Amino acid sequence: MNQIIIATSRYGEEIEALLKIGLAEQIKNGLLNLDKYQAGKYKFLALNIIKTNLLSSTNDCFLTKVSSILAKIYVDFWEKDLISKIAAFEYPYFKREELERIKNNAVKILTMDREREIGKKIYEFLLENSLINLDGFILFRLQKEVSEIYHSLDLAVEEQILEKEYQEFIKVVKCFLEIQPVKVRMVQVFWVNGYLVLVDEHQRKVEDKFIENLLTQRQRLFLEDILISALISLAPEKIIIHRHDDSINFDLKPIKDIFEERVEICTKCEGYREG
């Protein structure tokens, strides 16, 4: 009797459920049955092919389904468990909620084709072997994929550290802004030929020596840094940012995070008119 036996110490019920769903038609038509038994910590799931004249253990469609199911179990369950354990061991100094964000970001960083790639490895293994021990297969055949977990966690940790530093920066700036006197009630921001132009509600250019000096630093400073510094110095009650120049494409998130409800983005007016 042709058969494929799957041995696993984890997620046996989930594998069994997916096998019954994925191979429902073959089981219903009597081409194969699914037996299970326990031996110590391992659960064994045996796919026994009954009608060998109609189905074989090396049938492409059959092996593809079994491989895809096992790959899905690894990605959806086993890998996430590995990520949690590695993260807890490698980064115990992060708070609980920070560690959750790191784990979630690590999962997102891992390649989208991961399940397909792992399924291909399982498929190739099952072509030559009728028994697959998932624990051993992961340990010895998926070393590259496990190393990628460590790499994705390292990247996620870097993201978390940068985000934490960013939030601390925003907090400090907002505290400073609370004690900064309002110099101009409203500031409108325009880009004219790649240059920043700051005007008030009457379209008059803002006259301020610090701002004028900032605007001359275009070659030395990032445009967004110049704008943030200028707005913090002026501390306006209202900010309207006119975005009509598609070549200016920097992130406005810091400005929105600092000034919050004071900020309005305009994309519909006719733009700046020097008068």
- With CA atoms as reference, report the closest residue to 174 among 239, 232, 258: 258
Q: Please tell me the distance from the alpha carbon of residue 115 to that of residue 72, in angstroms, as a whole number.
A: 6
Residue 43 CA to residue 45 CA, distance in Å, equals 7
pLDDT at 92: 94
Task: Return phi, psi of residue 206, to 5°.
Answer: -70, 125
Alpha carbon distance 267, 265 (integer Å): 7
Q: What's the pLDDT score for residue 153?
A: 97
Low-confidence residues of the chain: pLDDT under 50: 1
pLDDT on residue 53: 78
Query: CA 96 → CA 77, 102, 103, 222, distances in Å?
Result: 20, 10, 11, 35
pLDDT at 273 (0 to 100) = 65
pLDDT tens, residue by residue, 169-220: 999 999 999 999 999 999 999 887 777 889 999 889 898 888 888 877 766 5
Helices (H), the chain: 12-22, 24-28, 60-73, 79-90, 96-109, 114-128, 134-141, 143-179, 209-215, 223-234, 253-259
Which strands, in side-by-side order, build the sheet including 42-49? 32-39, 42-49, 3-8, 131-133
The whole-number pLDDT of residue 274 equals 64
Residue 252 has what pLDDT?
A: 87
For residue 260, the 8-state DSSP code is G
pLDDT at 57: 77
